Structure 1
Amino acid sequence: MNIKNASIITLGSIFGAILSMLIIPILTWYFPQEVVAKYSILLILYSFGSVLIGFEMHQAYVREYYEVVQKEQLLKIALVPGTAIFILISFFLILLDISLAEMVFNLKSTFLDFFLLIGVYLTFFINILMHAVRMHGMAFGFAAIQILPKLLFFALLLVGSFIFEQDGFDTLFYLNGIVLIISAIILIIFLKNDLHQAIILKLDKKKFKEMMVFSLPLVIGSLAYWALTSIDRLFLNFLSNYNELSLYAVASTVASAVGILVVVFGSLWHPLIYKWVNEGVDSAKILAVNELMVLFICFIWTVFGLFSWLTDYIFPTTYADVSVMIVGCVAMPLLYLLSETTTIGIGISKKTKYAMLISLFCLFLNMTINYFFVEKYGAKASVIASMLGFCLFLILRTEFSSFLWISLSRWRMYISVFTYIMVTILILFGFLESYVYIVMVWIAALFLVFLLYYKRIIWLINFIGKRYI
Structure 2
Amino acid sequence: MNAKKIAAFAIGPIGSAALGFITLPLITWFYSAEDVGRIAMLQVLLSFCVLVFALGLDQAYVRNYHDSQNKPSLLKTSLTPGFLLLIIASVCALLFPGAISELLFGVKSTLISVVIVSCMLAALVSRFLSLVLRMQEKGLAFSLSQLLPKIVFIFILVTYITFSFGNDFRHLIIAHAISIITVTIIFAWNTRQVWLAAYKEPIDQNELTTMLSFGMPLIVGGAAFWGLTAIDRLFLRSFSTFEELGVYSVASSFAAVAIIFQSVFSTVWAPTVYRWASEGLNNEKIDSVTEHVLATVVFIFILAGLFSGVVSYILPKEYGNVQYILVACMAYPLFYTLSETTVVGLGITRKSSYAMIASLLAVLVNLIGNYLLVPKYGAAGASVSTAIAFWIFLVCRTEFSCISWRQLPRTKLYSVTFACLIACVGTSLCGSNYPSLAVFPWILIGCTSLYIFRSSIGAARAEFIRQIQQ
Q: 3-state SS of the aligned residue for 1:165?
A: coil
Inter-partner Cα distance in structure 1 for 2:339 and 2:389: 13
Q: Bigger CA drift: 428-437 or 363-372?
A: 428-437
2:363 is matched with which residue? 363
Q: Identify if the C-alpha distance between structure 1 residues 159 and 447 changes in structure 2 by more than 3 Å, giving closer, same or farther.
A: same
Tell me if structure 1 keeps the 8 A contact 2:52–2:222.
no
2:297 is matched with which residue? 297
Inter-partner Cα distance in structure 2 for 1:191 and 1:41: 30
- Alignment pair present for 1:457 and 2:454: yes
Q: Identify if the C-alpha distance between structure 1 residues 52 and 164 changes in structure 2 by more than 3 Å, giving closer, same or farther.
A: farther
TM-superposed CA distance for 1:289, in Å, is 4.1
TM-superposed CA distance for 1:32, in Å, is 0.4
Tell me if structure 2 keeps the 8 A contact 1:370–1:382.
yes
TM-superposed CA distance for 1:399, in Å, is 2.2
2:165 is matched with which residue? 165
Q: Identify if the C-alpha distance between structure 1 residues 325 and 276 changes in structure 2 by more than 3 Å, giving closer, same or farther.
A: same
| Count of residue pairs the alignment pairs up | 465
Relative to the length of structure 1, the TM-score reads 0.89
Tell me if structure 2 keeps the 8 A contact 1:294–1:413.
yes
Q: 3-state SS of the aligned residue for 1:166?
A: coil
TM-superposed CA distance for 1:207, in Å, is 3.8
Q: Deviations over 1:406-465 (max 9, x none)?
A: 3344333333222222222222222685554334332123234445x2xx5268549957
2:73 is matched with which residue? 73
2:34 is matched with which residue? 34
Q: Deviations over 1:97-134 (max 9, x none)?
A: 67111111122222221221111111111112222233
Q: 3-state SS of the aligned residue for 1:167?
A: coil
Q: Identify if the C-alpha distance between structure 1 residues 377 and 463 changes in structure 2 by more than 3 Å, giving closer, same or farther.
A: closer
Matched to 1:391, the amino acid is W
Q: Identify if the C-alpha distance between structure 1 residues 80 and 150 changes in structure 2 by more than 3 Å, giving closer, same or farther.
A: same
Structural mapping, 1:133-212, within 5 Å: 133-212=133-212
Root-mean-square deviation over aligned CA pairs: 2.9
TM-superposed CA distance for 1:28, in Å, is 0.7
- Alignment pair present for 1:402 and 2:395: no
Q: 3-state SS of the aligned residue for 2:255?
A: helix
Tell me if structure 2 keeps the 8 A contact 1:56–1:218.
yes
- Alignment pair present for 1:60 and 2:57: no
Inter-partner Cα distance in structure 1 for 2:411 and 2:255: 27
Tell me if structure 1 keeps the 8 A contact 2:73–2:201.
yes
Inter-partner Cα distance in structure 1 for 2:304 and 2:176: 29
Q: Identify if the C-alpha distance between structure 1 residues 291 and 135 changes in structure 2 by more than 3 Å, giving closer, same or farther.
A: closer
Inter-partner Cα distance in structure 1 for 2:183 and 2:432: 45
Structural mapping, 1:142-291, within 5 Å: 142-270=142-270, 281-283=282-284, 286-291=286-291
Q: Identify if the C-alpha distance between structure 1 residues 68 and 339 changes in structure 2 by more than 3 Å, giving closer, same or farther.
A: closer
Relative to the length of structure 2, the TM-score reads 0.89
Inter-partner Cα distance in structure 1 for 2:140 and 2:288: 34
- Alignment pair present for 1:102 and 2:99: no
1:84 is matched with which residue? 84
Inter-partner Cα distance in structure 2 for 1:370 and 1:466: 43
Q: Identify if the C-alpha distance between structure 1 residues 152 and 349 changes in structure 2 by more than 3 Å, giving closer, same or farther.
A: same
Q: Bigger CA drift: 237-246 or 8-17?
A: 8-17
2:411 is matched with which residue? 411
Percent sequence identity over aligned pairs? 31
Matched to 2:349, the amino acid is S
Ranges in structure 2 where 5+ consecutive residues have no aligned partner: none
1:426 is matched with which residue? 426
Ranges in structure 1 where 5+ consecutive residues have no aligned partner: none
Q: Bigger CA drift: 376-385 or 195-204?
A: 195-204
Q: Identify if the C-alpha distance between structure 1 residues 103 and 168 changes in structure 2 by more than 3 Å, giving closer, same or farther.
A: same
Inter-partner Cα distance in structure 1 for 2:246 and 2:464: 48
